[in-house]
Amino acid sequence: MRILILLFLLLSPVSGHAADAIALDSSVFVEREVPAAGGKTETVLEEPKVVIPGDRLVFILQYRNTGTQSAKDFVVTNPMPAPVAYQGTSDTVAQVSVDGGKTFAPLASLKVREADGAERAARPEDVTHVRWVLREPIAAGAQGKLSFRGIVR
Protein backbone atom coordinates (compact mmCIF):
# COMPACT_ATOMS: atom_id res chain seq x y z
CA MET A 1 0.00 0.00 0.00
CA ARG A 2 2.95 2.29 0.63
CA ILE A 3 3.85 1.91 -3.01
CA LEU A 4 0.38 2.93 -4.06
CA ILE A 5 0.55 6.08 -1.99
CA LEU A 6 3.97 6.87 -3.35
CA LEU A 7 2.74 6.38 -6.87
CA PHE A 8 -0.21 8.58 -6.17
CA LEU A 9 2.12 11.33 -5.06
CA LEU A 10 4.27 10.90 -8.10
CA LEU A 11 1.40 10.87 -10.50
CA SER A 12 -0.63 13.69 -9.01
CA PRO A 13 -0.57 16.80 -11.13
CA VAL A 14 1.54 19.47 -9.49
CA SER A 15 -0.90 22.21 -10.39
CA GLY A 16 -3.60 20.79 -8.21
CA HIS A 17 -6.10 21.60 -10.90
CA ALA A 18 -7.25 18.27 -12.24
CA ALA A 19 -7.63 15.61 -9.63
CA ASP A 20 -7.71 12.74 -12.12
CA ALA A 21 -5.17 10.14 -11.11
CA ILE A 22 -4.81 6.45 -11.66
CA ALA A 23 -2.54 4.41 -9.44
CA LEU A 24 -1.28 1.21 -11.00
CA ASP A 25 0.58 -1.37 -8.94
CA SER A 26 2.52 -4.28 -10.41
CA SER A 27 3.33 -7.35 -8.34
CA VAL A 28 4.37 -10.91 -9.04
CA PHE A 29 3.85 -14.16 -7.17
CA VAL A 30 5.06 -17.71 -7.60
CA GLU A 31 2.43 -20.40 -7.91
CA ARG A 32 3.38 -23.57 -6.05
CA GLU A 33 1.86 -26.90 -5.29
CA VAL A 34 2.06 -27.59 -1.57
CA PRO A 35 0.94 -30.65 0.38
CA ALA A 36 -2.44 -30.24 1.96
CA ALA A 37 -4.48 -32.27 4.41
CA GLY A 38 -5.65 -35.67 3.23
CA GLY A 39 -2.65 -36.28 0.99
CA LYS A 40 -3.83 -33.71 -1.54
CA THR A 41 -1.89 -30.83 -2.93
CA GLU A 42 -3.12 -27.30 -3.11
CA THR A 43 -1.97 -24.44 -5.25
CA VAL A 44 -0.86 -21.37 -3.39
CA LEU A 45 0.63 -18.06 -4.41
CA GLU A 46 3.84 -17.23 -2.61
CA GLU A 47 5.97 -14.17 -2.38
CA PRO A 48 8.87 -15.03 -4.70
CA LYS A 49 11.89 -16.07 -2.72
CA VAL A 50 13.53 -18.58 -5.01
CA VAL A 51 12.69 -18.53 -8.71
CA ILE A 52 14.09 -20.96 -11.25
CA PRO A 53 13.31 -21.77 -14.89
CA GLY A 54 10.03 -23.63 -15.11
CA ASP A 55 8.46 -21.84 -12.16
CA ARG A 56 4.93 -20.57 -12.74
CA LEU A 57 4.36 -16.91 -12.03
CA VAL A 58 1.20 -14.90 -11.52
CA PHE A 59 1.45 -11.22 -12.40
CA ILE A 60 -1.09 -8.98 -10.67
CA LEU A 61 -1.90 -5.43 -11.71
CA GLN A 62 -4.06 -3.43 -9.32
CA TYR A 63 -5.47 -0.11 -10.41
CA ARG A 64 -7.33 2.51 -8.47
CA ASN A 65 -8.76 5.83 -9.43
CA THR A 66 -7.37 8.00 -6.67
CA GLY A 67 -8.79 11.18 -8.14
CA THR A 68 -12.17 12.81 -7.83
CA GLN A 69 -13.23 12.39 -11.46
CA SER A 70 -13.87 9.28 -13.47
CA ALA A 71 -11.34 8.06 -16.03
CA LYS A 72 -12.61 6.68 -19.31
CA ASP A 73 -11.12 4.80 -22.29
CA PHE A 74 -9.13 2.85 -19.76
CA VAL A 75 -6.50 0.58 -21.31
CA VAL A 76 -3.74 -1.25 -19.45
CA THR A 77 -0.81 -2.63 -21.43
CA ASN A 78 1.79 -5.02 -20.01
CA PRO A 79 4.79 -6.00 -22.15
CA MET A 80 5.90 -9.56 -21.34
CA PRO A 81 9.26 -9.62 -19.53
CA ALA A 82 11.63 -11.43 -21.92
CA PRO A 83 12.47 -14.33 -19.58
CA VAL A 84 8.79 -15.17 -19.10
CA ALA A 85 6.52 -17.13 -21.44
CA TYR A 86 2.85 -16.11 -21.32
CA GLN A 87 0.57 -18.79 -19.93
CA GLY A 88 -2.85 -17.21 -20.22
CA THR A 89 -5.24 -15.13 -18.21
CA SER A 90 -8.73 -15.59 -16.85
CA ASP A 91 -9.59 -11.96 -17.64
CA THR A 92 -12.04 -12.10 -20.51
CA VAL A 93 -11.25 -8.54 -21.62
CA ALA A 94 -7.61 -9.36 -22.15
CA GLN A 95 -6.12 -9.40 -25.60
CA VAL A 96 -2.59 -10.27 -26.55
CA SER A 97 -0.04 -9.26 -29.14
CA VAL A 98 2.52 -11.47 -30.82
CA ASP A 99 4.08 -8.68 -32.89
CA GLY A 100 5.66 -6.48 -30.27
CA GLY A 101 2.47 -4.59 -29.39
CA LYS A 102 1.48 -3.46 -32.89
CA THR A 103 -1.74 -5.46 -33.04
CA PHE A 104 -3.89 -7.08 -30.35
CA ALA A 105 -6.48 -9.84 -30.51
CA PRO A 106 -7.46 -12.99 -28.63
CA LEU A 107 -4.59 -15.47 -28.87
CA ALA A 108 -6.66 -18.06 -30.74
CA SER A 109 -7.06 -15.74 -33.72
CA LEU A 110 -3.39 -14.75 -34.01
CA LYS A 111 -0.85 -16.21 -36.38
CA VAL A 112 2.91 -15.97 -36.54
CA ARG A 113 5.21 -16.45 -39.48
CA GLU A 114 8.17 -18.77 -39.00
CA ALA A 115 11.64 -17.97 -40.30
CA ASP A 116 10.97 -20.25 -43.28
CA GLY A 117 7.89 -18.23 -44.22
CA ALA A 118 5.35 -20.79 -43.03
CA GLU A 119 2.44 -19.40 -41.02
CA ARG A 120 1.20 -21.13 -37.91
CA ALA A 121 -1.23 -20.46 -35.10
CA ALA A 122 0.29 -18.33 -32.36
CA ARG A 123 1.28 -20.11 -29.18
CA PRO A 124 1.26 -18.67 -25.66
CA GLU A 125 5.04 -18.34 -25.66
CA ASP A 126 4.80 -16.08 -28.74
CA VAL A 127 2.95 -13.42 -26.77
CA THR A 128 4.84 -10.13 -26.47
CA HIS A 129 2.20 -7.95 -24.82
CA VAL A 130 -0.99 -8.35 -22.82
CA ARG A 131 -3.65 -5.62 -22.96
CA TRP A 132 -6.90 -5.00 -21.16
CA VAL A 133 -9.46 -2.59 -22.62
CA LEU A 134 -12.16 -1.56 -20.15
CA ARG A 135 -15.26 -0.12 -21.79
CA GLU A 136 -16.72 1.36 -18.64
CA PRO A 137 -15.16 4.48 -17.10
CA ILE A 138 -13.37 4.02 -13.80
CA ALA A 139 -15.28 6.09 -11.28
CA ALA A 140 -13.47 8.13 -8.66
CA GLY A 141 -12.34 5.80 -5.92
CA ALA A 142 -13.04 2.68 -7.98
CA GLN A 143 -10.44 -0.03 -8.16
CA GLY A 144 -9.83 -3.37 -9.82
CA LYS A 145 -7.41 -6.15 -10.43
CA LEU A 146 -5.99 -7.64 -13.62
CA SER A 147 -3.78 -10.69 -13.81
CA PHE A 148 -2.02 -13.10 -16.14
CA ARG A 149 0.12 -16.16 -15.79
CA GLY A 150 3.63 -16.80 -17.04
CA ILE A 151 6.31 -19.41 -16.78
CA VAL A 152 10.01 -18.70 -16.34
CA ARG A 153 11.73 -19.70 -19.57
Partner 1 sequence: MLEGNFWAIKNVRLTLIAPLIVATASVSFAPRAEAAGTVAGSTIANTATANYTDSGGNAQTATSNTANLRVDELLDVAVTSADPGDIPTLPSGVNQVASFTVTNTGNGSEAYGLAVTTALGGDQFDPTTTSIVLDTNGNGVYDAGVDTVYAAGTNDPVLAPDASIRVFVLSTIPGTAVNGDRGQLSLAAASRTITGAPGASANGQGQGGGDAVVGTSGGDGSANGAYVVQAANISFTKTSSVVDPFGGSKIVPGSIVTYTLTATVGGSGSLSNVAIADNVPANTTYEAGTLTLQGAPVTDATDADAGVFVPPAGVVPGRIEVTLGAVAAGQTRTVTFNVRIN
Q: How far is the CB of 21 from partner 1 (least distance, A)?
A: 7
148 near 56, Cβ under 8 Å? no
User: How far apart are CB 50 and partner 1 at their closest, in Å?
Assistant: 5
- DSSP 8-class letter at 94: E
Smallest gap, in angstroms, from Cβ of residue 116 to partner 1?
11
Q: What are phi and psi of 14, to 5 degrees?
A: -70, -30
Q: Which is nearer to partner 1, 39 or 50 (CB)?
A: 50
> What distance in Å separates the CA atoms of residue 94 and residue 131, rounded to the nearest whole number?
6
Nearer to partner 1, 18 or 36 (CB): 18
Name the DSSP letter for residue 7: H
Q: Which is nearer to partner 1, 41 or 103 (CB)?
A: 103
